[in-house]
Amino acid sequence: MTKARGQVAIVGAADTAVGKITDLDCQALCAIAAEKALADAGLTFADVDGLVTCNAMSQPFLYPAEALAEYLQIYPSYCVGLGAGGAAAVSVIQHAALAIEAGLCETVLITMADRLRSGLSREQARQMQSAAGHPEFETPYGPTAPALYALLAQAHMHAYGTSREALAAVAVTMREHAGLHPGAQKRDPISIDDVLASRPVASPLNVLDCSLVSDGGAAIVLTSAKRAPNLRQPPVLILGSGEGHHHEHLSGAHDLTRSAAVESGRQAYDRAGLGPKDIDVAGLYDCFTPVVLFLLEDLGLCPRGESGAFVLNGGIRLGGALPVNPHGGLLSHCHPGNPGSMFHVTEMVTQLRGQAGARQVPNAEVALVHAQGGTLSSHSTLILGSEATR
Amino acid sequence: MSADGYILPRVTPLSATYWEGCRNGELRLQHCLDCGHVQLPPRSHCTRCRGNRLEWRASSGKGRVESFTWIHIPLAEAWADEVPYAVALIRLEEGPMMMSNLRHCSESQLAVGLEVTVIFEARGETIHLPQFRPARVEATAPEEMKS
């Protein structure tokens, strides 16, 4: 993206309740998140002329964005349903910002929700599990989604001597952070020993190395940076973004220790005119503990091969060299599927506004969000700035 | 799905020759006649030079483990009796990497770099799934062996 740095701003952001939600469907959750985000911005549905969402696995529609516009009874001139797995929620922001810059629309609502915990039928859950592998050359061997990430973890451990405890330390830190967020799904502290003693899933990963299964949704509102200062909240500027795509299926990966986050991150840094050292707080996709180690290295946030030591030394904790996921991430805050990284985005917005309370990173002015989909396949990076970075 | 509940590969017109090879005890790979590149999964074009003069040749069936995992919570009911079962990424001697299961291999024996060789396991009438076992048989106690 963006033709000019900081031309588009996030002016509204909101989460729904997360965890177990039995009285609402995904479209209702999208509507609730949208209403809250618009109220946060001081806007109404009448101001929205762009709508972006992703499909909900538990309530799929052939054309999810059009179905949501119909549900909300809004009539956007820009309407997009996007699929890139976990990378979608960050990737859509790049698309939406481009549409605003190009003059296709002025105010874009991005809202998404899913109910992986309460909303999936047994058959949908089974299909989701087996959908992760290549249907002809992987799935017949019985790999689960955690197993695919376990293969990456094992490769990293072999290449760099990364310890099992380093993986566990990621989960421990996320839980510690979630304890400071009143809305997080899991808030009881855990130790490295708890992670190591939890139920084995796919070696070396145990249950506590795996993200939560949640219901929930979140929304943000984007508009031009020119219009943003007249709204209710301090704007959060989009300074740069990037994407990277190397493979879809793990057996098609060219390198098991390095992902396309390298290219995605480089684009975002270049467009923002910033580097890894400028990042005050990061929202990193953490569906399984090894992903955080890969992303720290691929995004240049710590030296290659040293992410294990970085995490064990408290580097990603609040108060550490680079606080990661102060809301608790997918591992402890919530993971409702494709909308998962929306919560990383809303948390970075909260941090850059200085509204994060007990988990606030002091003087946070530049934040990075990175989401990935597939098996470290599709990558999307966003660099956000507070008003001071304008 | 096969009668015993395993998820079977979805064979395409391009891959029929691959699965025919498996039924004949041969792991077949596409060789590019223009640049010599070897590839799997099968495609209409060479991924290196984009040429379309591709020829099927039998692999030696030998490779090395690049990564592995022991799965304790199975993908589907069919694997429930086999847990933990090993899924590995295997670098074939000819170059391509493929996913497979490691059979006849103990947990202590399986490691990155282990030399392996292909075997075929019947899954129903038409599919013989290529799988791997250690190239050298280890002197292990029978109770440690995984089928």
Per-residue pLDDT tens digits for A287-300:
999 999 999 999 99
The single residue listed with the structure tokens 């299909």 is: A127
Which pLDDT belongs to residue A5? 81
Token pair belonging to A336: 């409702």
**Quick check: A14 contacting B, CB < 8 Å?**
no
Among chain A residues, CA nearest to B97: A251
Q: Which of A125, A126, A103, A381 is nearest to A260 (CA)?
A: A381
**Quick check: A137 contacting B, CB < 8 Å?**
yes
Question: Where do the structural domains in chain A lie, given as residue ranges?
Answer: 8-120+216-230, 141-213+240-389
Which pLDDT belongs to residue A82? 83
Superfamily of domain A8-120+216-230: Thiolase/Chalcone synthase (3.40.47.10)
Out of A78-87, A119-128, A329-338, the most confident range is: A329-338
Among chain A residues, CA nearest to B6: A140
- Asked if pLDDT for residue B140 goes beyond 60, the answer is no
At A1, the pLDDT band (50, 70, 90 cuts) reads very low
**pTM of structure:** 0.94
At B147, the pLDDT band (50, 70, 90 cuts) reads very low
Which pLDDT belongs to residue B2? 57
Q: How far apart are the first and last CA of chain B?
A: 21
**Residue at B113: amino acid letter:** G
CA distances from A21 to A117, A119, A123, B58, B127 (A): 8, 9, 20, 54, 43
What is the CA A351 to chain-centroid distance, rounded?
15
- Asked if pLDDT for residue B144 goes beyond 60, the answer is no
Q: Over the stretch B34-80, which tens digit does the pLDDT of each residue have?
A: 999 999 999 999 999 999 999 999 999 999 999 999 999 999 989 99
ipTM here: 0.93
Q: Over the stretch A125-137, which tens digit does the pLDDT of each residue have?
A: 877 777 789 999 9
What percent of chain B clears pLDDT 90, i.e. is strictly above it?
A: 84
| Mean pLDDT calculated for residue range A50-73 | 92
Question: Where do the structural domains in chain B lie, given as residue ranges?
Answer: 16-144
- Mutant choice from B64, B73, B118 vs A, greatest count of A C-beta within 10 A: B73
Which pLDDT belongs to residue A33? 97
* Cα separation, B86 vs B99, whole angstroms: 11
DSSP string, A283-325: EE--SBHHHHHHHHHHTTSS-TT-HHHHHHTTTTSTTSSS-B-
- Asked if pLDDT for residue A2 goes beyond 60, the answer is no
Q: Helices A145-160 and A289-298, interaxial angle, to 10°? A: 50
A8-120+216-230 and A141-213+240-389, same CATH topology: yes
Helix, strand, or coil here: A104?
coil
Q: Outline where A42-87 has alpha helix (H).
A: 64-72
CATH number 3.40.47.10 given to A141-213+240-389: yes
Token pair belonging to A100: 């605003």
Q: Which of A285, A282, A289, A239 is nearest to A378 (CA)?
A: A285
Token pair belonging to A301: 């946030």
* Contact list, B76 vs chain A (CB under 8 Å): 126, 129-130, 142
Which pLDDT belongs to residue A125? 82
| Mean pLDDT calculated for residue range A164-178 | 98
